Chains A and B, each alone.
Chain A
Amino acid sequence: KQEVTQIPAALSVPEGENLVLNCSFTDSAIYNLQWFRQDPGKGLTSLLLIQSSQREQTSGRLNASLDKSSGRSTLYIAASQPGDSATYLCAVRLGGSEKLVFGKGTKLTVNP
């Protein structure tokens, strides 16, 4: 059974700091991994999608890496801003499945 763990559960940083969010999964037979942002009352926003054959994806100040063999992904946020405050979710899709398995998320607070 695939399990996804995100560490830390919560993180508070001053504005401008670079930070890393971690995601680990138990079954390396994934099809892809997706990072989302969840804002209260606004659902989930897709940030980055990494295919199992890829090592990383970048979008603006965000960079996500994937090490499938070790069952890990990291989301790097550069020069954090108060607007980055949200809960960040990691989800994996197993090969041959349409189901996304989510972690519980990391709640990020960026202080001005």
Chain B
Amino acid sequence: SAVISQKPSRDICQRGTSLTIQCQVDSQVTMMFWYRQQPGQSLTLIATANQGSEATYESGFVIDKFPISRPNLTFSTLTVSNMSPEDSSIYLCSVKTPGVLYNEQFFGPGTRLTVL
């Protein structure tokens, strides 16, 4: 399995500001994923971050709102830009470790964001 850490674990932010969330993995992985869990809703994939290339965004998510960096095979950041109360969610980093039987997917502890 992969051990994933995220910073910060939680934050309270003001409307119109931006927050960058960091994700660190204890092993090299090709693909990292960012998910969002809004209150009472299911987890939804925001984007897939590949090292050395632009992130791939899911329908409904755009780079200007959620810029992503992937500088190496163990680290990624997600920025939530120009925040509004609707961005209040749990943001989770996830990896799929190649070579592990059946490509099991693992998640970090999440970042709980509240926007006032």
A interface residues, Cβ below 8 angstroms from B = 4, 32, 34, 36, 41-44, 46, 49, 51, 89, 91, 93, 98-100, 102-105
B15: chain A residues within 8 A (beta carbon): none
Contact in complex: B104, A49 (CB < 8 Å): yes
* CB-based contact A32/B45 at 8 Å: no
Q: Is the interface of A mostly helix, strand, loop or mixed?
A: strand
Interface string of B87-108 (1 = CB under 8 A from A): 0000010101000001111111
A100-B43 CB under 8 A given contacts A36-B107, A43-B92: yes
Binding site for A on B (CB under 8 A): 1, 4, 6, 9, 31, 33, 35, 40-45, 48, 58, 92, 94, 96, 102-110, 112
Indicate whether A34 sits within 8 Å of B105 (C-beta atoms), given known contacts A4-B42, A46-B1. Answer: yes
- Asked if residues B45 and A100 are in contact (CB atoms below 8 Å), the reply is yes
Count: A-B pairs, CB below 8 Å: 53
Tell me whether A43 and B102 are in contact in the complex, defined as CB-CB below 8 angstroms, given that A103-B42, A104-B40 are known contacts: no
A100 CA to B36 CA in the complex, in Å? Answer: 12
Q: A residues within 8 A CB of B41?
A: 104
- Could you say which residues of chain B place their CB within 8 Å of the CB of A46? 1, 104-107
B102 near A102: Cβ-Cβ < 8 Å: no
**Could you tell me the distance between the alpha carbons of A36 and B92 in the complex, rounded to whole angstroms?**
14
Could you tell me if B102 and A51 are in contact, using CB atoms closer than 8 angstroms? yes
A75 CB to nearest chain B CB (Å): 16
Choose one: A43, A91, A100, A104; the contact of B110 (CB below 8 Å): A43
Q: Are B43 and A89 in contact (CB under 8 A)?
A: yes
**Interface CB pairs A-B, < 8 A, 21:** A34-B105, A41-B9, A41-B109, A41-B110, A43-B6, A43-B107, A43-B109, A44-B92, A44-B107, A46-B106, A49-B102, A89-B42, A89-B43, A91-B43, A91-B105, A98-B33, A99-B48, A100-B35, A100-B94, A102-B43, A104-B42
CB within 8 Å for A42 and B109 given contacts A49-B102, A104-B41: yes
